[in-house]
Amino acid sequence: MKNTFTFPSDFLWGAATASFQVEGYPLADGAGPSNWSDFCFQPGRIANDDNGEIGPAHYKKYKEDVQMMKALGLKAYRFSINWARIFPEGTGRVNEKGVAFYNSLINELLDNGIEPWVTFFHWDLPLALEKKGGWTNRDTVVAFADYVSYMTKRISDRVKNFFTINEILCFTTLGYEHGIHAPGLKLDAKTCAQTVHHGVLAHGLAVQAIRAAADGPVNIGLAENLVTTVPMFGSEAHIEATRKAVRFENADKLTAIMEGQYLDSWLEKMGGNAPQFTDSEMLAIGSEIDFVGVNIYFPEIVEAADNENGYRIVPKPEGYPKMDMPWLHIGPEITYWIPRLLNEVWGVDAVYITENGCATQDKMAQDGEIYDTDRVMYLKHHFMQASRAVQEGWPLKGYFVWSLMDNFEWSYGYQKRFGLHYVNYSTLERIPKTSAKFYKEVIATNQVV
């Protein structure tokens, strides 16, 4: 029987990590502290009071990890740069040893046939800038653009694919309003809305900085955890409602970036809590990008409704199935619908799934194997939906699994494991799980096996 869940030969298979989650040694070789390295040592902030001091030690073991990627068959590796390794105070003095580390990693990847995809910001803000207000301060936006420009000049002779920023919600709202992430503040709604605006503006100015500084042609996008709307049923009424929902529910971030404006209906809803902005800022926010990267994990189910929005997000029942995270509800159809919606709503012609994966309760069996068949189930069904999207002609060009290895899972510390490779945090040994073996077969055959 012919396998119908196939992919084109040029489909990009990759894996993703983030600097603070995997590197360890955040102050090594002249690096400055970040808001996360500081946050970890505030009692009660992180589960078990874990920290990122060593973690998987990718900073020391990157050559071994590149060989692990090569064994997996990866075509690309998405990683982020720790801003404070480059500019210990966020601006001013350059730490050449920090630059040297990323140059060495990039060269190692290229020497092994793996394409580097660089994210300039994945939440770890230099602490010196945090102490000046962090993302509440517009000066941080300017400093970010300067850092991006500098690093683009240093690496774009070899790196051709760039993400400006990863998940604006997580370093703005979750850090400055909900207090879950660094810096752990609970500010008023209007101030928080301004941090979100600064996040999207930082993206826009970074796009311009990369274009101006790059050595030759480059591809630029962002990695955004948009509200992943899917229709309750496949009828046209629900699909049209879902188009409306993806636009409005992402009004302050992706919609603003794709359209270069805030929706009037969203500004009206925000009222006195709307951010302050200028026309020139919105022009920068709407800077043209080459692709959209989406970090997708769980669905928001939409139905058509007779209300002012034309849709309603349906609440999930208490027993709705989920993986080993309180928020990670199962809904593989997002992998089909998000590339389709991005194309239908905004005309996006290149979409990359920049994160997708799940936490599971990984335990080593007596034979030394980690049989994460639940993760295989999760990935397999997402891959099937990805294949459906590709075969129907929607512009899905590649997929980066989250994550290459177990890592520091932010406020959850080390108690949640997302990796294809098990990390023994005592010995730092990496052990491929069943999911790694499954992914290797998918990459090798370009089909869901």
Residue numbers annotated as active site: 167, 355
Reduce the DSSP state of residue 431 to 3 states and report it. strand
C-alpha triplet 159, 164, 167: angle, nearest 5°: 130
Q: What is the Cα–Cα distance from 139 to 333, expressed in whole angstroms?
A: 40
Reduce the DSSP state of residue 251 to 3 states and report it. coil
For residue 138, how far is the Cα from the chain centroid?
A: 23
**Tally: H helices and E strands in the chain:** 16, 13
Going from the C-alpha of 190 to that of each of 13, 170, 197, 282, the distances in angstroms are 40, 17, 11, 18
Backbone phi, then psi, for 294, in 5-degree steps? -125, 130
Q: Residue 205: CB partners within 8 Å, gap ≥ 6?
A: 141, 142, 144, 145, 284
| Sheet bearing 229-231, strands edge to edge | 229-231, 300-304, 311-313
Answer for the pair 369, 434: CB distance below 8 angstroms, yes or no. yes
Rounded to the nearest 10°, the torsion over CA 67, 68, 74, 76 is -70
Answer for the pair 140, 195: CB distance below 8 angstroms, yes or no. no
DSSP letter (8 states) at residue 181: S
Which helix (H) or strand (E) element contains residue 75? none
Q: Residue 173: CB partners within 8 Å, gap ≥ 6?
A: 192, 195, 196
Q: What is the Cα–Cα distance from 438 to 447, expressed in whole angstroms?
A: 11
Count of C-beta atoms within a 10 Å radius of residue 103: 14
Q: What is the Cα–Cα distance from 135 to 195, expressed in whole angstroms?
A: 5
Count Cβ atoms within 10 A of the Cβ of residue 92 and give its class: 0-12 exposed, 13-18 middle, 19 or more buried: exposed
Q: What is the Cα–Cα distance from 305 to 309, expressed in whole angstroms?
A: 8
Please give the full DSSP string across 332-347, using - where no structure is assigned.
TTHHHHHHHHHHHHH-
